[in-house]
Amino acid sequence: MNFKEYPDRDMLALDLADTLAGELGAALRHEDRVTFSVPGGTTPGPIFDALSGVRLDWERVDVVLNDERWVPETSPRSNTGLLRQRLLSGHAAAATLLPLYADAPEPEGALEALSQALAPHMPINVLVLGMGGDMHTASLFPGADRLEEALASDAPILLPMRAEDAGEPRITITAPYLRGALSTHVVIMGAEKRAALERARTLTPVEAPIAAVLAEATVHWAP
Ligand SMILES: O=C1O[C@H](COP(=O)(O)O)[C@@H](O)[C@H](O)[C@H]1O
């Protein structure tokens, strides 16, 4: 694991957006299409703002969320809604969104169709992950009903996930597909998450799911 510390959150957002643009640009020089997988939640908005204004060949970029809460896009809880507002605007509006949500009452009802649509876009070229204070990443929550299945090396690309602290049902890219990313960044802010990350390094992925992806990751932190 590499650890990069920034003086403040603005610097982190600008610097990481620049790094991601560089990596996406490099991948676009070698590949017809590039897969960019990103987190939802409260952390990535400023990074998306900075990145959406960068000139890139976005028409050849496929953007997917690492995980989605099973709520319609109009919900303030929707990660897809966040993505549309903060990343898929400006120059980045030309990118293609690979959906992780469909109009079905439960994620199980759309699992097969979403998985089939996503599979041709693997491996992920550039991956950005968030982390909760409980050490979850994507929707791999400690204590979640299908966590062990999602951590297994033969896990399918997507799994539904339910956990007490998750709120609504979720759908998530599973650990082997996250680990298969060609470049991995974890972004965390604040002292509490830094302490949680340090703790995760001493635990197993079942106890601390973020531990499943740290080996090859660069962690970006600001106070
Ligand atoms: O629920 C989620 O939480 C994590 C962390 O979110 P944050 O608000 O603490 O930044 C996020 O990475 C994930 O995509 C999201 O669905």
Q: What is the ipTM of this complex?
A: 0.98
Q: Which atom of ligand 1 is nearest to the CA of 68?
A: 16
- The rounded distance, in Å, linking the Cα atoms of 137 and 135 is 7
40 Cβ closer than 6 Å to some ligand 1 atom: yes
- The rounded distance, in Å, linking the Cα atoms of 77 and 15 is 27
Number of domains into which the chain is organized: 1
Beta bridge partners of 5: 221
Residue 110: which domain range?
2-222
H/E segment holding residue 173: strand 170-173
- Cα–Cα–Cα angle for 4, 140, 165, rounded to 5 degrees: 105
The pTM for the full model equals: 0.98
Q: Which residue reads 């830094």 in tokens?
A: 194
Residue having the nearest C-alpha atom to atom 3 of ligand 1: 41
pLDDT at 17: 98
pLDDT at 54: 97
- Cα–Cα–Cα angle for 209, 23, 30, rounded to 5 degrees: 115
> Which stretches in the chain have pLDDT values below 50?
none
Task: Determine the distance separating the centroid of ligand 1 and the alpha carbon of 166, expressed in angstroms.
Answer: 10
Residue 14 structure tokens: 């600008």
CATH code of residue 159: 3.40.50.1360
